[in-house]
Amino acid sequence: MTSAAASRIKAGIVGGTGYTGVELLRLLSQHPQVELTAITSRKEDGMPVADMYPNLRGRVDLCFQTPEKAALEDCDVVFFATPHGVAMSQAKTLLERGVRIIDLAADFRLQDTQVFERWYKMPHCCPDILAESVYGLVELNRPKIAGAKVVGNPGCYPTTVLLGLAPLLEGGRKLIDTSHIIADCKSGVSGAGRKAEVSTLFSEAGDNFKAYGVAGHRHHPEISEQLNALAGGPVGLTFVPHLVPMIRGMFSTLYARILPDALDTDFQALFEQRYADEPFVDVMPAGALPETRSVRASNQLRIALHRPGNGDQLIILVIQDNLVKGASGQAVQNMNLMFGLPESTGLTHVAILP
């Protein structure tokens, strides 16, 4: 074994049959410092990954395995691309073997277990591990993630809303009316996952637009918990997600009312400075009009600020690829950080346009 191979991170994926799973496979199979060692699916045991995902033909030789066969405990890191509840049930065993965990589901997103239990309809089985886990939004939590053993990878909507609002709330700033923030968010259909459901059939979701989850969406408490922490107090958020007839892409239109004392603020400068050193956050010129395809299949997130008539209404437009920065790319970004690699390693793909 060469020293190069020896130094590669051994990565396993639990439950890789969904979209975040295949996207992890795409990213990790091209990552120069990763060796993909196992991928589990109880149902597809023995099936070559490339049979399910033909884009991986000739690139990924792994077969799906049952968790029993997969020897996940020999991995350096295990990604959970599973339904909610799976990661927490396996976390203890893996941690005891020194395996680090990145969960793409919700098990380690919400610190308040009562909130978790209300929204996910299951008890949290390892509150002690949860207490030590870190919310994996790199741009907010970089130092903690670098030392984390368990990372809860953020939801897609929360990533856009939090990065779009953080500069306005951090550091005790009193810039906007935090009692009535509006997040009007739009997601491509892949955000609903690769489940066989009528509502996301081509003939149902195509050539159509709708809101959903207005009465309550699981990402709402996740956003709120983080916003409250950023602002140091309760933030009032109205959150309306919509479904867009496109495969990938997320667009959040955020509305905040500027406080009278803050009308002189140079918001453009504020945002530019806040994200100046962030490799994956692009603050566009004031008044720019980002489009989701400009980040398709890349880990980039772009922000553009608008202030019509220079009045008291601030509009923040945020875009990302929901499967990359909103899920699997962010997970790899977290992994890079946790293993001391340059944060952009394996994440520099240029977006696909058209």
Binders of a second copy among 278-307, rule CB under 8 A? 282, 284, 287, 289-298, 300, 302, 306
Q: Which residue reads 């997970």 in tokens?
A: 331
Say whether residue 240 binds a second copy (CB under 8 A).
Answer: yes
As to burial, measured by CB atoms within 10 angstroms (0-12 exposed, 13-18 middle, 19+ buried), residue 350 is exposed
Footprint (CB under 8 A) of a second copy, residues 257-276: 257
- Binding segment toward a second copy, per CB under 8 A, in 77-85, 95-103, 133-141, 240-248: 240-248
| C-beta of 141 vs 190, nearer to a second copy | 190
- Taking CB under 8 A as the criterion, the residue among 33, 111, 113, 200 binding a second copy is 200
> Based on CB atoms, which residue is closest to a second copy, 255 or 339?
255
308 makes contact with a second copy (CB under 8 A):
yes
Q: Is 63 in the site for a second copy (CB under 8 A)?
A: no
- Alpha-carbon distances, residue 187 vs 228, 262, 273 (angstroms): 24, 32, 28
- Alpha-carbon gap, residue 297 to 295, rounded angstroms: 6
Binding residue for a second copy, selected from 63, 245, 272, 278, defined by CB under 8 A: 245
Q: For residue 215, state whether it binds a second copy (rule: CB under 8 A).
A: yes
Does residue 245 have a cis bond before it (omega within 30 degrees)? no
Decide whether 149 or 242 has the Cβ nearer to a second copy: 242
Rule CB under 8 A: say whether 207 interacts with a second copy: yes
Q: Tell me whether residue 301 or residue 338 sits nearer to a second copy (CB atom).
A: 301
Query: Residue 23 class from Cβ within 10 Å (0-12 exposed, 13-18 middle, 19+ buried)?
Result: buried
276 dihedral zone (left: phi>0; alpha: psi -120 to 50; beta): alpha
- 138-146 vs 329-338: helix crossing angle, rounded to 10: 40
Catalytic residues: 156
Among 7, 42, 57, 61, binds a second copy (CB under 8 A): 57
